[in-house]
Structure 1
Amino acid sequence: MPSPLLSLTWTDHVTGRQGFLVVDRLVRGVASGGLRMRPGCTLDEVTGLARGMTMKEALHYDPANRYVPLGGAKGGIDCDPRDPEAYPLLVRYLRAMRPYVESQWTTGEDLGLSQDLVDRAAAEAGLVSTVQAVYPLLDDEAGARRRLADAFAVEVDGIGLDQLVGGCGVAEAALTALDRAGVPRGGTRVSLQGLGTMGGATARFLSRAGLTVVAAADLKGTIANPAGLDVERLLTARDAHGTVDRSALRPDDLELPGEAWLSADAEVLVPAAVSYAVDASNQAQVTARWIVEAANMPVRPEAEALLAARGVTVLPDVVVNSGTNAWWWWTLFGDVGADAEEAFAYTRRSMRALVELMLTRARTDGTTPRAAAHAIAADRLPLIARRYGWYR
């Protein structure tokens, strides 16, 4: 793998904590990728995420779209987002990274950070917007910014569209795999790790599609019910970090240890929280047929090889969770409007086509879905480069 274009480690002068920025690749001078905050975040982790963003962007390349994929980047801060120092640390990080956000790096929420919080900190750091680097690429900047602002103001059942569209994409990826395998949705069980933005929305879309969510893990442990959890009840009882108030549980809901989501009796597992959740030591607990990576890098490579050897299919993050990023740009560039049904329909159509392409390529090449996704991205990157030039 080639080295990233830019790799930075920043040390906060107040707390001594570190933050990172990696720009893997630029397209038309700009790269896209979220900002995460978690204790133990490392430069290697951010580097891998930035490379994944390069692939996510390339996978959604359609020459007919107004949206032209950007390069890949990622930011990370080594801090617990619940720490009292977390917000001022975020502001100082963004202030330090301001030259890059203004000119090269478009960013937004990721693990541990909400978009509202990132936007507030960015304003305090003196930034116009966390996506201002892309503004020079827009034909009508004022109209595009207004369209994105309008889209972020849309709510569905009290939840912002921006918090739902990624989960819509994850759910569609899972449903595409089930449909290809001829597995009926009714009676198919799902277990999730994480009920935050991505996990909560995924649970909602899958349950509304007829699947049964039997387990969901948060910071306090796993909530389970073999007969099915009341997803809407749990989502209503979440705090800002996706932790469910246990007083909202029904009498027959079970409280199990945190790792119990992994071994739940379910056909579909959705790791939607942290990276590296499934490793070589715990993958043996998995009895599901599919793992759908809503989080970034939740399955370690050595675990994926062992899972594949016993017939467990991993649908990779570079495809599965790419809907949020793509929706931002579809909206900003004008491929979709500020309308929930239009956004969901476009996301479903795009994700289904991409997952179908990936699974067909995997079958044809005799490889895993991840290898197939990487091969598709490798095919598309030169097309983008020929059209817009190389920036390495």
Structure 2
Amino acid sequence: MTAPGDAPLITLTWTDHVTGRQGHLVVDRLVRGVSSGGLRMREGCTVEEVAGLARGMTMKEALHYDPEGRYIPLGGAKGGIDCDPRDPEAYGVLVRYLRAVRPYVESVWATGEDLGLSQDVVDRAMAEAGLVSSIQAVYPLLDDEAAARRRLVDAFAVEVDGIGLDELAGGCGVAESVLAALDREGVPYAGTRVAVQGLGTMGGATARFLARAGLTVVAVADVKGTIADPRGLDVDALLAARDAYGTVDRGALRPTDRELDADAWLSTDAEVLVPAAVSYAIDTDNQAGIRARWIVEAANMPVLPEAEQLLAARGVTVLPDVVVNSGTNAWWWWTLFGDIGPDPDEAFTHIRRSMRTLIDRTLARAEADGSTPREAAHAIVADRLPVIAERYGRYR
């Protein structure tokens, strides 16, 4: 029986004949013949990065395994394109990549938005590439495909305060992870300060839910730098002033809001840091300036392993990405398979309950084993993968 650290099942690299840009696809594991994981686009994306993300998807799927649920976890996969999404050539590269990997999307890889790509752009490119849907590989597993697809379409049409439910689902899960960690330590929400790197889909929604829970968001960072106010930022105003890439219009800032350099969020005087933008944001050098008690990984792989060791040695707890940001993926499948309907209250209730259970289980395992939360999450996955494989097989 395999473990998450074993070699992936499929690894491929594609080179665009027009621009020379490269794209990658890694299928780490199949369950019932299908894998799940988003497609990202960023300058410098490598096959090693995509492989790590695919392995993380295997873990996220296994962590949400519920033998009583309608949603049965899939295998893990990930796609990545080495291109700046703002490049004028980016959309053409995306369409040609999807044409090249079309057989995988049709049969084994269910995908969706990730860093640098929104779901509407992915959907448009899928159609242009001749594909039915980004998740069509899952359709043969559904009891009632038409009803399931309608549920998901209806869910994507739901807006809460002008923000799509699909954008809010992941941030709800991240925020609940923060709240669960605070509750375990008996830390009150009022007076707890938060700094968020990235105000896109995940970071923006996380900041929104935390502010509504009573925490004080004192800093947010985007590509232009860090916006800070020790008394608390107006999160709703900042969200309303974002562009499609999560960059805030500085004209919307209040006189008390300070503009700092891009890395200032790291050393902000805050109890919680939420890296919600790029991978590898926290390394062995910049970790030394972190004063927070918790780092909650809303982004994929934002803390380098060596940095995490140094942080743990001085009492900083890193809640790992495979747990914290897994709510987005799970929400898609809970909705599609029918565990929940296209209703925001039902969705948020289910996400909060599931994520709180998962955080509590992970932290309890870490305490029992004397390990880090990441090591505890890996141990839980190692227990579950053989159970899933025994029930569903490795490939079929």
Q: TM class, shorter-chain normalised?
A: over 0.9
Which residue in 1 is equivalent to 2:101?
A: 97
Structure 2 distance, partners of 1:280, 1:23, is 30
Structure 2 distance, partners of 1:253, 1:310, is 31
Which residue in 1 is equivalent to 2:375?
A: 371
Which residue in 2 is equivalent to 1:23?
A: 27
Equivalent residue in structure 2 for 1:271, among 249, 262, 275: 275
Structural RMSD (CA): 0.6
One-letter identity of the residue aligned with 2:157: A
One-letter identity of the residue aligned with 1:67: Y
Equivalent residue in structure 1 for 2:198, among 190, 194, 198: 194
Which residue in 2 is equivalent to 1:231?
A: 235
Equivalent residue in structure 2 for 1:323, among 279, 302, 327: 327
Which residue in 2 is equivalent to 1:243?
A: 247
Structure 1 distance, partners of 2:390, 2:144, is 25
Q: Deviations over 1:111-161 (max 9, x none)?
A: 000001000100100000000000000000000000000000000001100
Equivalent residue in structure 2 for 1:259, among 257, 263, 278: 263
Which residue in 2 is equivalent to 1:303?
A: 307
One-letter identity of the residue aligned with 1:380: R
Q: Deviations over 1:174-227 (max 9, x none)?
A: 100000000000000000100000000000000000000000000000000000
One-letter identity of the residue aligned with 1:186: A
1:61 and 2:65 correspond:
yes
The TM-score normalised by the length of structure 2 is 0.99
**Which sections of structure 1, spanning at least 5 residues, go unmatched?**
none
Structure 2 distance, partners of 1:3, 1:165, is 31
Q: Matches of residues 115-126 of structure 1 in structure 2 within 5 Å?
A: 115-126=119-130
One-letter identity of the residue aligned with 2:29: R
Q: Matches of residues 3-152 of structure 1 in structure 2 within 5 Å?
A: 3-152=7-156
Q: CA deviation at 1:390?
A: 1.9
Q: Deviations over 1:249-306 (max 9, x none)?
A: 0000000000000000000000000000000011001000000000000000000000
Structure 2 distance, partners of 1:377, 1:337, is 27
Structure 2 distance, partners of 1:350, 1:202, is 16
Q: Matches of residues 196-211 of structure 1 in structure 2 within 5 Å?
A: 196-211=200-215
Q: Matches of residues 353-368 of structure 1 in structure 2 within 5 Å?
A: 353-368=357-372
Structure 2 distance, partners of 1:165, 1:27, is 24
Counterpart secondary structure, 1:164: helix
Counterpart secondary structure, 1:202: helix
Structure 1 distance, partners of 2:391, 2:142, is 17
Runs of at least 4 residues off by over 3 Å: none
Structure 1 distance, partners of 2:395, 2:307, is 34
Structure 2 distance, partners of 1:230, 1:240, is 19
Q: CA deviation at 1:22?
A: 0.1
Q: Tell me the matched-pair count.
A: 392
Structure 1 distance, partners of 2:285, 2:378, is 26
Structure 1 distance, partners of 2:380, 2:139, is 28
The TM-score normalised by the length of structure 1 is 1.00
One-letter identity of the residue aligned with 2:224: K
Which residue in 1 is equivalent to 2:346?
A: 342
Q: CA deviation at 1:391?
A: 2.6
Structure 1 distance, partners of 2:161, 2:361, is 33
Structure 2 distance, partners of 1:159, 1:147, is 18
Counterpart secondary structure, 2:351: helix
Structure 2 distance, partners of 1:251, 1:378, is 51
Structure 2 distance, partners of 1:377, 1:257, is 39
1:382 and 2:386 correspond:
yes
Structure 1 distance, partners of 2:123, 2:289, is 40
**Which sections of structure 2, spanning at least 5 residues, go unmatched?**
none
Structure 1 distance, partners of 2:386, 2:256, is 55
